[in-house]
Amino acid sequence: MTHEEAVLALRAAGCVHAEDEAAVIWETYADPGARDGAVADRATGRPLEQVVGWAAFGRVRVALAPGVFVPRRRAEAILAPAVALRPDARVVVDLGCGAGALAASLAVLLPDADVHGVDLDEAALACAGRTGGFTVHHGSWWSGLPSSIVGRVDLAVAYLPHVPTSRLPEIHPDFRANEPALSVDGGPDGLDPLRAVLADADRWLAPGGAFVTLVSRDQAAVSDLEVLASDDDDVVVAHRRG
């Protein structure tokens, strides 16, 4: 199909940014059959990033695959405050790294740092390995990281699952159908993963080390963490080891 036919097919499938999406498919695939296949796949409702196998995030291109959490641009807000807090960080971790959006970004922003990412989702970790720039580990939060960095982490970041379970139905149906609940479900108030991470933080952080994450405004009010930045929807918060 031509580029114009692809735009029409995407628009008919309900894609609001059909021109932009067709441009991304054309940029990704040179082969006409692959382009047709990608348009058909996208028309089923699969997120564009999973269809083309990559997502732009910060200054990096994150590798993606069907079924893997699509990095949200809102999480880019974590990067600048985290780096400003510890520009000297040498050991950096991304807890729940998914396909590696934050970890790979920090590897670029802090080129002297040893960056580690950990996740439970094997499909996401396969993508993280292709995204590159950091060491990938399988496991649950801190416990999946190598014991050699216990008490040595200068900077930890996370974009944690933080949607209250009762609000999962509000997520766009295309994302609900194509991303694992593990990546978004934060338990009854959305804060279960944050509590789990904070419970062990001081054992893994170096003296003066910081953990930086993003929560919703109402969650920030109850989490009792230091506010680093905020906008209308989200708040970047930190926990520092004294």
- Interface ranges with ligand SAM (CB under 6 A): 69, 71, 75, 96-99, 101-102, 118-121, 124, 140-141, 159-161, 182-184
Within 10 angstroms of residue 67's Cβ, the number of other Cβ atoms is: 15
Task: Kindly state the smallest distance separating residue 96's Cβ from ligand SAM, in Å.
Answer: 3
Find the shortest distance in angstroms from Cβ 59 to ligand SAM.
15
Secondary structure E strands in the chain: 54-57, 60-63, 91-95, 114-119, 135-138, 153-158, 205-216, 226-230, 234-240
CA distance 153 to 110: 14
| 140 versus 166: smaller Cβ distance to ligand SAM | 140
Considering Cα of 98, then 100, then 101, then 106, what sign does the dihedral take? Answer: positive
CB of 130 to ligand SAM, least distance (A): 14
Residue 9 or 105 with smaller CB distance to ligand SAM = 105
Q: Can you tell me which residue has the tokens 């609001």?
A: 16
Q: Please check whether residue 77 is in contact with residue 234, taking contact to mean a CB–CB distance below 8 angstroms.
A: yes
CB of 4 to ligand SAM, least distance (A): 33
Shortest Cβ 72–ligand SAM spacing (Å): 7
Q: Which is nearer to ligand SAM, 10 or 75 (CB)?
A: 75
**151 vs 180 by CB, closer to ligand SAM:** 180
174: left (phi over 0), alpha (psi -120 to 50) or beta: alpha
Which CB atom, from 15 or from 104, has the smaller least distance to ligand SAM?
Answer: 104
- Helical packing angle, 3-12 and 32-43, nearest 10°: 10
Contact by Cβ (8 Å): 146, 159: no
Q: How is residue 151 annotated by DSSP?
A: T
User: Would you say 161 or 190 has its CB closer to ligand SAM?
Assistant: 161
Residue 18 beta carbon to ligand SAM: minimum distance, rounded to whole angstroms: 25
